[in-house]
Amino acid sequence: MKTYRKTATLVGSAYLFSNITFILGTIVMVESILGSPDYLNLMSASRAQVVLGVLLSFANGLAYVGIAVLLFPILKPRFESLALAYVGFRVVEFITQILADVSPLALLTLAGDTGKVGAMQELGTLLLAERFWAFQMLNLIFSLSALLLYVMLLRSRLIPGFISIWGLIAAVLVLFNTVLGWFNPGLGETLGMVTGLPMLLNEIFLGIWLIVRGFNPSAAAIEPTRQLALEA
């Protein structure tokens, strides 16, 4: 049980860390520049900010993989296939995030080349399009992995049911907005904050809950009891 408590604290801390790095790195440091019409000049003047933002985004991806790895030993005895699929989704999500973060780094190189303005604009538009679709794939994988996780947490009762149901609804909203963005990027971007906020709040709440309360002791004790019975 001490191991379960330690794991809950680590997972909760990873959730808080991932959301902090996502907000600071992706939204505040990188997207605030890429969303400007004069983004190439801004990137050239804010090189350190962009690099730091990408590094924080990278740390966010590592945190998500860490969450899956930490939860795997707890979820595997109950849902072996789903738990393995969850880890796989998180790894693919991290790879997709790396692909999305290549664009800002490549744009830094373009921003330093002032020789061909027209070509820079065209390449910049292409790289921004690549980042958009990489994030679309990332959000798709993220929403599917969240659905897997909250189904397992709901069935195992490791956390209160309302948190799992909240997470399931939030994941469906992210999935809906992602698919909507494929057909109507403008509307998807407009609704992105609204549909993504429930998931953001859910993960912050879940992180604090796991740090303060941990997993449900009665649910966490079920599998060790079964293992002892099998060994006997």
190 pLDDT above the threshold of 50 = yes
What span, in angstroms and rounded, lies between the C-alpha atoms of 207 and 72?
17
pLDDT given at position 221: 60
Supply the pLDDT for residue 95: 94
| 118-165 pLDDT per residue, tens | 667 788 888 888 899 999 999 999 999 999 999 999 999 999 999 999
Cβ distance 138 to 93 under 8 Å?
yes
- Domain residues for 125? 2-231
- The predicted model gives 212-223 an average pLDDT of 76
Number of domains in the chain: 1
Beta-carbon contacts of residue 66 (< 8 Å; ≥ 6 apart): 10, 14
Contact 157/216 with Cβ under 8 angstroms?
A: yes
Determine the pLDDT at residue 96: 94
Look at residue 110 in the predicted model and tell me its pLDDT. Answer: 78
Q: What percent of the chain has pLDDT over 90?
A: 63
**pLDDT of residue 230 exceeding 70:** no
> Tokens at residue 13, please?
């801390």
Instruction: For residue 231, name the pLDDT band (cuts at 50, 70, 90).
Output: very low
Q: Other C-beta atoms within 10 Å of 128: how many?
A: 15
Banded model confidence at residue 223, pLDDT cuts 50, 70, 90: low
Q: What is the pTM of this model?
A: 0.87
Nearest to 208 by CA among 15, 4, 2: 15
pLDDT for position 107: 86
